[in-house]
Amino acid sequence: MHKIDIELIEMTLDVMKYVIGRVSETEHQIGKPKKAEELKAIVGETITAKGVGGEYAFNLWKEHLSKANVPVDHPRNLAFVPASPTRAAIMFDLITSASSIHGAYWMEGAGGIFCENEAMRWIVSLTGLPKGAFGVFTSGGTAANLSAIVTAREYWRENPEYKRKKGLIITSTGAHSSVKAMAKVADVDILLVESEERLEGKDLQKTIDSLTEHQRKCLFAVVATGGTTNAGIIDDLDGVANICEKENLWFHVDAAYGGGALAADSVRHLFIGIEKADSITIDPHKWMFSPYDCGAVIYKNPELAKKAHSQQGSYLDIFKDEGAHGFNPSDYQIQLTRRVRGLPLWFSLATHGTDRFKEAIERGLELAQIAGKMIEAHPDLELVRAPSLSCVLFRRLGWENKDYTEWTYENHRKGFALVTPTKWNNGERFEAVSRFCFINPDTTENDIRLILDTMI
Ligand SMILES: Cc1ncc(COP(=O)(O)O)c(C=O)c1O
């Protein structure tokens, strides 16, 4: 398995040929999911005592299994938060794997971690956080949110009065599900300010004022969102920051999706206040065109994260020794062994320069505005709210829940587009609506028009 022979050479060439084909293709197919039983019936047993052989397995992948995936970078994949890794980043993802780098400690991964840190410096510069702020790449926004919440909780528990107390955090109903899920993992209570619209400082203050004395004591952090996943809404970050400062609370900003827009001059002002955060989540695998998986957590004071996350163990002592001195990413988030997942981003940034990133992000914002205008001009369509960041929510007049679902399946079945419905609270009830989220700068106005035409 580990020796070099002609089969390995042939396999390497086949894989490279496939990769070249994939990255140079301009029209991908939108794949069709199949049930696990159907896939099993097609490919049969693949894990056997003697192996089925690389060529055979690779053919199964090419012919059948790869086609059961929906590429996130298809220009008409506007569902959830899609992605669009640059070709340079994809290429360096291959290099990252081929280089077998352990990204936990500088002692083993200095070259890779150096590159990650160069890319991180650019991301941190976008936030406006003060000198000393820094971050690390994580497996995604969920892990970044968890790392930040745990850091905040451990900092709060430094006070002996709270050592054994269960903490409380406040966020809004618009916050991402991972914030609520990670509060569970960190075993902290969570209070939701009822608003899918922008969380305003005054509403946060009202919520804090309404807490019982016990709850107020246990409250240690507020999570605001820098671009809600559902609608692209940016909370009143400055207002929230000021209240957190006054009330002595940790201020976390979840900008997993919206964080890329910090690079876009046209909307940067909407994020004012983010520079006062104690921690920030940004996902380069969303709007910074990195391949999965690549999130980031940034701290105003990284030393607090180190206190919370640094792992101790006799076999790890050497990594902390003077002789092995350097930046150890594992000290600042929940994971020990880690891929240098910021390396593809570094190569992509180094190749193209930050201006090209700005332009590509601005294009996503522009596409949302273009889609908004097309919808407004259409007699059968209606905007639910003005486009925000790169999200557009809209109604097809006369449609009910099932119509949106059937329309999604129909376009997916045809291999034409993936646009999924969401729910929006219209003041009376949660209604089903349609949603675009633009990331891919290769999506065209014609793609949008063609998708809207299928609603008529
Ligand atoms: C605002 C926000 N936070 C957190 C997450 C979770 O990120 P991940 O899926 O990378 O774990 C997402 C994902 O869409 C998100 O949009």
pLDDT averages per 10-residue partition of the chain, 456 residues: 94 96 87 93 98 96 94 95 97 97 94 98 98 98 98 97 95 96 97 92 97 97 98 98 98 98 98 98 98 98 97 79 82 96 98 98 98 97 98 97 96 94 91 97 97 96
Rounded-to-integer distance, Cα 382 and Cα 47, Å = 51
The answer to whether 296 and 138 have CB atoms below 8 angstroms apart is yes
CA-closest candidate to residue 77, choices 417, 445, 454: 417
Cβ(283) – ligand 1 distance below 6 Å: yes
In single-letter form, the type of residue at position 245 comes to E
**Given the structure tokens 């891919």, which residue do they identify?**
440
Mutate to test the pocket of ligand 1, among 72, 138, 142, 297 (most ligand atoms within 8 A of CB): 142
DSSP-derived pairing of the beta strands 219-225 and 189-193: unpaired
Atom of ligand 1 nearest to the CA of 143: 11
User: Phi and psi at residue 76, in whole multiples of 5°?
Assistant: -105, 20
- Residues 6-57 have pLDDT tens digits of 999 999 999 999 999 999 988 778 888 899 999 999 999 999 999 999 999 9
Cβ(295) – ligand 1 distance below 6 Å: yes
Task: Supply the pTM of this predicted model.
Answer: 0.97
Cβ(127) – ligand 1 distance below 6 Å: no
Cβ(259) – ligand 1 distance below 6 Å: no
Cβ(84) – ligand 1 distance below 6 Å: no
Cβ(109) – ligand 1 distance below 6 Å: no
- Residues 62-104 have pLDDT tens digits of 999 999 999 999 999 999 999 999 999 999 999 999 999 999 9
Rounded-to-integer distance, Cα 57 and Cα 39, Å = 13
Cβ(344) – ligand 1 distance below 6 Å: no
Rounded-to-integer distance, Cα 46 and Cα 40, Å = 9
Q: DSSP secondary structure string, 320-360?
A: HSGGG-S--GGGGSS-SS---TTHHHHHHHHHH-HHHHHHH
Residue 277 structure tokens: 């955060």
Between helix 343-352 and helix 354-376 the angle, nearest 10°, is: 90
Rounded-to-integer distance, Cα 87 and Cα 360, Å = 14
**Cα dist. 266→75, 257, 269, 326, 389 in Å?**
23, 17, 8, 38, 10
In single-letter form, the type of residue at position 277 comes to A
User: Phi and psi at residue 295, in whole multiples of 5°?
Assistant: -110, 180
Rounded-to-integer distance, Cα 388 and Cα 273, Å = 18
389 C-alpha to center of ligand 1: Å? 15
CA-closest candidate to residue 238, choices 199, 184, 181, 276: 276
Provide the 10 A C-beta neighbour count for residue 413: 10
Q: What domains are defined for the chain?
A: 92-352 (3.40.640.10), 355-453 (3.90.1150.170)
**Cα angle 126-127-130, degrees, rounded to a multiple of 5:** 115
Rounded-to-integer distance, Cα 431 and Cα 308, Å = 42
